[in-house]
Each structure stands twice: as structure tokens, then as C-alpha cells.
Amino acid sequence: MTIAAVLLGAFTTHLTNYVMEKSRHQRELLTRWDDRKLDAYGGFVDRVRAGIFLAVQLYEHREGLRRSEQPEAAMRAELAEAERQRGRSFEQIMLLGGDAVVEAAHELHVAVRAIDWQATGRAEGTLDEWRERNRVAFREINEFHEAARVDLGVQGKVTGENHPERDLLLPAALRAGGEREGEGAAG
């Protein structure tokens, strides 16, 4: 009887340790994947924003809004490299993201491509259409943030009543009626 009690105690101790160790290992895996997801999500948004910045520089140069010392060919090459890097980040989202995150990344990718196309001249558009494309992209960034936060289990929202939608920051010369610097209404 004593031997049976010892064996039963050893077995239950072993079983308890096994279950606890397995649970700890699963928590570590989830934490590790959450860390990887956080890096992938942050890296993707960083590359999206960097690409938008480069597209804005190219667009403003091409449209004569703000001339750059850098040749247009160099700006196009930088934008192409930014697109390549964004694509690599997008692939990480496809591998690690939940369904809602992947869908938000697709929508964001489409919005940013529209900016790239107008910046490079592959798509035509007015200054107002350019601004709207940028607004759409930044709304999609917020949608991506929302989906990523849910996927990571982060509380709260980055949009809504507590965080009203912001508009684009424009140079002073473009804020008043969309006129370019040096152009007046009295022509």
C-alpha cells in the first residue's frame, strides 16, 4: 500500500509538472509570436509611412509645388526601393497576421499604391485627388492599427470619439484655397 501511494504521488507530481511545463511553454510561444507580430506590424506601418513620404517628395517635385535638389530619377529609385521594402513587410503580415490584420494590410497596400501611381505619373489626378488619396491612406493606416491592436489583445482604440480624424498637414501656401506660393487670385 505504501509503494502504491508513493507511485501515485510520483505520478501525480510528474503529471502536474508536465501540464504546468506545457502551459508555460505555450505562453512563451504566444509571447514570442506576439513579439514577432508587433515587430512585423510596426515595421510594415513604418515602411508604408516612409514610402508615402518619398511619394510626396516626388509628387511635389513633379508638380512644381516644392523643388528638390535631388534628381527625379534618384527619387523614383528611392520610391521603388521603398515599395520593395514595403512588399517584404507585407509578406510578414501575410505570414503572422490574423484575418482582420491581413485584410487591413491589403486595403492599406491598395491605398498606398494609388499614391505611388499618382506620384510617379502612372495615374493622373488633381491636387485635390492627391490629397484625398493621402487621406484614404492615413485612414487605412488607422484601420490597420485597429486590427493589429485587436490581434495583439491591446485595449482601447486609435479612432473614434476620443481620437477624431485628423486632416493632412499642408504648407501655408496650400492651406488657403489651394493656391501655390507666388500665385495670387488677382493674376
106-158 confidence digits (pLDDT tens): 999 999 999 999 999 999 999 999 999 999 999 999 999 999 999 999 887 76
Determine the straight-line distance between the first and last CA of the chain, rounded to whole angstroms.
107
More confident residue, 173 or 155: 155
More confident residue, 12 or 135: 135
Mean of all residue pLDDT scores within the chain? 83
Mean pLDDT of 52-62: 96
User: What band does 175 get if pLDDT is binned at 50, 70 and 90?
Assistant: low
Would you state the pLDDT for residue 158? 66
User: What band does 10 get if pLDDT is binned at 50, 70 and 90?
Assistant: confident
Domain ranges of the chain: 30-153
Mean pLDDT of 60-66: 93
Asked whether the whole model's pTM tops 0.75, one would answer no
Q: What DSSP letter does each residue of the chain carry, written as one string?
A: -HHHHHHHHHHHHHHHHHHHHHHHHHHHHHHHHHHHHHHHHHHHHHHHHHHHHHHHHHHHHHTTSS--SS-HHHHHHHHHHHHHHHHHHHHHHHHH--HHHHHHHHHHHHHHHHHHHHHHTSS---HHHHHHHHHHHHHHHHHHHHHHHHHHT--S-SSBTTBPPPPPP--HHHHTTTPPTT--TT-
More confident residue, 86 or 21: 86
Would you state the pLDDT for residue 186? 36
Mean pLDDT of 6-17: 72
Would you state the pLDDT for residue 168? 59
Write the pLDDT tens digit of every residue in 20-34.
776 665 665 555 678
* Statement: residue 42 has pLDDT above 90: yes
Instruction: Enter the CATH code of domain 30-153.
Output: 1.20.120
